[in-house]
Structure 1
């Protein structure tokens, strides 16, 4: 295959607006059509429409025009109301019904009115189904966007050309793929001639199938046009870039046995697109009892199969890319930033495949001079970072890299990990707002000085914005910039009354706090998607801080000693940067640890008090002559004594542990081992004391009432296990996170099974 030096394709501007907002466009049409009173029918005034259509409250009114009746009938799948009108005037089926030119077939497709479409299509000509709206989209594309295969099949049976018609905004199969309608894509793939699609349309289709994990279709499309592997479209997007964020498995490269290779051979392609003979053979194999009993083969049908298919697709794409000249391959990698994207997403399998065949990729840096290991340290992707232990002495050279801000890899590990740091940083940036609030009650002799200080604060916040221009981040910056402009206009204006000034400041503070809320709740959702699940699932600020300290300590092991004292462009050493970035997280960790210890210690104290009293108020009472318990020789009494002692001593140990937590110094290093171990021991003994208390209660109930009741003691004993189970379920996550953070954290950076060489 011949490769052109320029492998970029410019994306159509009209397609950008359609494809990037395909779902929002369809939802907008659907929302418009669900509320009839909000739709403008051609040549009808709003007043008449309000009387004619259904109101939001569901009130029915008499329709006054045939267009309105058809519109509502299409929405409600009411062919009985539409049939008399179309029998009188069939041209209404071709008339435009909305401002955007949707016809009755468009509306019915959006409303998923299957019966209405079946009857309507039977009355229409083949050419009528090709009529577009004002945006150049026919009703078949709307049917594809609806996701209802039956609707699309009805239209296609009437007009076989519909799947191959490329409208102004693309093909029907591409629209269905962009919206993630898997069944619709599989159906349309069978009836669409891919040769009728241009290169860009095929790329859009293949990228959409990758994004929605339709790897069986994606593999088939790629085999028909392998040049798509080296294609770059507008926005520096490529197929490898789309695949870099997807979970995949390259298990067939592992030394599996013959049985697993046979299973993988059967499942390499989805049953939805394989041949009938193969589909029957696979179906027969799957029903054999010994298969389901031994290997649980058909678990592969789910996520495991998707990962394996993604791995096969990656191998095919990468093999095609390796045929490029070295300069063009380097351009493809650097322009699309696939290494950076995979490292951010923690896609270690993706990186392992690429580096096996092209070892020099470990030296590649992005625009900020970060290697994949720098990116992994910055975004806390331990699986990717652990690859550094598989490259031998080369790691000593890679870690010497310094980015554009003068940060070495230890500086990056010292930065607050995402997404927690972003919200913490916003709170830190807006921390001076509280000081401004306190000034509102004090005399303010100079308005300009106060306004200048506010302006300076906002400009500092604006300068610390994120590097990535996400839509939410842009909105955040625009709000800040507008506020700075308003302050500029007020500087220099006379303000004789402090009350007026205070009101102005109060308004400014409200606006700033609104921007703060926007930043915390909206701006960083994109960042949360690329964080490792192990980081996001950690409970509590204290355990998150422990994970941050673990990262810093791990990176500290591999850097030269001189890097510990190296200063970046801001004249900060890695340790100084770590302490500054984690200052607020340290405070939140201390507060979280204190609150947890306080609440748990209250419970432990109550249990200790009750168990101490129960030890000397035994069931059945004492012998007046000897002072010994009357039921001393009963087995149930032994259970009571042991469980009471266990609950008593465990609760006391729990109190000691939580008291030790409350009196701790709360230094950074305390969060690494000391505090988590104390918390773990306190939670474990607290749970044991609760179990012992309930066992003692059940034993007491048996001793007192067993001779007088038949089944009630057994029922009470069974019910006493409910609080234990409830406590375990509600607090299991915290306990398990503490166990993992305390004892399993040493395996966090252990090299995995993904061998590079």
Structure 2
């Protein structure tokens, strides 16, 4: 087949992409068939090309009006080689202007399917073109005798992508205007679960609910899992990736909310934790492996990630039978051996993170120790002939002495804590409690010493200046709070996370009172 016409029709192609209607208007008037001629290798018409640019709006408008005036609306349906009409193209590129123009003239164009069985509505959702999709949702209607655009695989994809894009189908929009998104999602899940159960077909229920639960287990959507289990309790025995049950999958994916939910809702943990997989691995072997990539950044720093991994291993270790703690997999490895081998790199990263943090903070703390110690013997205003400080009877002087002492003691404590970190053996177990505790105390002490140092400086400044140049004293005293605030902004989130992770509520706890058996 010859494609020489593609070269001959280049002027039309260029006019379409450049929104140059004037250069081809006379040409189309002389030969109207050129307006709907397939002029590219992919059998695209000038309308396909102009619509796909997303900017040739004048060309599209004039071309569509001319086609309708000279040949009839049916000529707007001319497809490319993949049976996609111009509205499919508008849906693909997000050309809402062209979509409105075409639908207003030919409403039935919204019902035309391409070779994949997708209507323009489905195409717009696939390419996440919100404006075009929002418009098509309002004009696409189910026709009598035809399959609904919410049916089948394409319909399922449409619902999924519509939700992912952050807005809903018109029939649910009224509820959305009243309820929050979370409540609306619950309603949608309730409806889907009810519809699935109404089919009274185990295979359908197992396939649809099971597929949803596999995804929910991976991403930690415990609300969806809870709804599915309450709808069909037997689904608790669904096998996820690797041949394990849902409870073990929660351990593998490090999804503590899913783990907590199943732990409290079902006694299946009693059965699933004694199960052994294809590699003769039990639940503790699974917990001993490194967390999946998407769950390695849920806490700050490699050291806290190592702590989280140890918390998981300890939790499952307390759950399994004693004999399983020394059970061997096909490689002859116990769970503890698997943990050590799979966490080598994370342990090294945690060690370096701890050392770098401790080293940096030690320098700052040591400087504060030096300054606070020297300040105690070089008090503001000097000493009298009898050796007493000149400002001894001033209340501000007592504030200076107390804050300087606090700065010295807290900074010295901080140095000792950071030195304890630097000289640690960095064993696996140290990352569970010992090292985080030292880092917490060290950061708290450093913060206190910095704040006390700024208070000491402010009080000394107030003593020296007293009633002189008060206009500059106040701004300087206020400025001393800047370093404290900066330290809080930069380091306080880490400190809070350390305290929460080490001393706070465990990630393993009861979430609700629902039980199924």
- Answer yes or no: same fold by TM over 0.5: yes
Q: Which residue of 2 aligns with 1:603?
A: 364
Number of the residue aligned with 2:514: 755
Is the CA contact (8 Å cut-off) linking 2:280 and 2:329 kept in structure 1? yes
**Pairing 1:692–2:457 present:** no
Report the alpha carbon displacement of residue 173 of structure 1 after superposing the two structures with TM. Answer: 0.2
2:140 counterpart residue number = 192
Q: CA deviation at 1:115?
A: 4.2
In the TM superposition, residue 377 of structure 1 has moved relative to its aligned partner by 0.5
- Aligned residue for 1:322, secondary structure, equals helix
> In the TM superposition, what whole-angstrom CA distance separates every residue of 1:271-294 from its partner, at most 9, and x where no partner exists?
4xxxxxxxxxx6xxxxxxxxxxxx
In structure 2, distance between residues paired with 1:587 and 1:612? 37
CA apart distance, 1:687: 1.6
1:653, distance to aligned residue in structure 2 (A) = 0.7
Q: Deviations over 1:684-727 (max 9, x none)?
A: 11122222222323333333345332432222223332222222
Once residues 642 and 89 of structure 1 are traced to their aligned partners in structure 2, the CA distance between those partners, rounded to angstroms, is 97
Native 8 Å contact 2:372 2:407 kept in 1 = yes
1:161 aligned residue:
108
2:403 corresponds, among 643, 652, 667, to: 643
Q: Are 1:608 and 1:647, in contact at CA under 8 Å, matched by a contact in 2?
A: yes
Q: Which residue of 2 aligns with 1:542?
A: 303
Match of 1:122 in 2: 65
Q: Is contact 1:93–1:104 with CA below 8 Å preserved after alignment?
A: yes
In the alignment, structure 1 segments of 5+ residues that lack a partner are 1-39, 46-63, 222-266, 272-281, 283-299, 420-527
- Cα distance in 2 for partners of 1:175, 1:672 equals 50
| 2:158 maps to 1:208 | yes
**Cα deviations by residue, 1:153-185 (Å, 9 ceiling, x for unpaired):** 122112222211222242100001112233422
- Pair 105,199 (structure 1): closer, same or farther in 2 beyond 3 Å: closer
Question: How far apart are the structure 2 equivalents of 1:132 and 1:342?
Answer: 40
Q: Kindly tell me: are residues 208 and 541 of structure 1, through their superposed partners in 2, closer, same or farther at Cα, counting changes over 3 Å?
A: same
Q: Which residue of 1 aligns with 2:45?
A: 103
SS at match of 2:376: helix
1:525 is matched with none
CA–CA separation in structure 1 for the residues paired with 2:266 and 2:156? 38
Distance 1:129 1:617 in 2: 91
- Structure 1 residue 100, shift from structure 2 partner: 2.6
Aligned equivalent of 2:184: 309
CA–CA distance in structure 1, aligned partners of residues 14 and 186 of structure 2: 53
Aligned to 1:372: 246
How far does residue 633 in structure 1 lie from its aligned partner after superposition? 3.4
- Matched-pair contact (CA < 8 Å) for 1:355–1:756: no
Q: What TM-score, normalized by structure 2, do the two folds share?
A: 0.88
Residues 655-674 of structure 1: pairs in structure 2 closer than 5 A = 655-674=415-434
CA distance in 1, matches of 2:456, 2:332: 62
Matches within 5 A, 1:585-624: 585-619=346-380, 621-624=381-384
Say which of 82, 98, 118 aligns to 1:135: 82
* 1:741 counterpart = 2:501: yes
- The aligned counterpart of 2:344 is 583
Alpha-carbon separation, structure 2, partners of 1:326 and 1:208: 24
Match in the other structure for 2:320: 559
Q: Distance in 2 between matches of 1:353 and 1:364?
A: 15
Q: RMSD in angstroms over aligned alpha carbons? A: 3.0
CA distance in 2, matches of 1:378, 1:69: 56
Pair 1:400-2:274 in alignment: yes
User: What is the SS of the residue equivalent to 1:594?
Assistant: helix
Q: Which residue matches 1:723?
A: 483
Q: Counterparts of 2:366 and 2:66 in 1: how far apart (Å)?
A: 80
Q: 1:643, CA displacement in angstroms?
A: 2.5
Distance 1:652 1:406 in 2: 52
Question: 1:69, 1:81 within 8 Å by CA — same for their partners in 2?
Answer: no
CA contact (8 A) 2:6 2:39 kept: no
Partner of 1:382: 256
| Residue equivalent to 1:44 | 7
* C-alpha deviation, 1:399, in angstroms: 1.6
Q: CA–CA distance in 1 between the matches of 2:334 and 2:406?
A: 50
CA 192–615 in structure 1, closer or farther in 2 if over 3 Å, else same? same
How many residue pairs were aligned? 505
Q: Is residue 337–residue 366 contact of structure 1 (8 Å, CA) maintained in 2?
A: no
Does residue 318 in structure 1 map to residue 193 in structure 2?
yes
Q: Distance in 1 between matches of 2:311 and 2:119?
A: 51
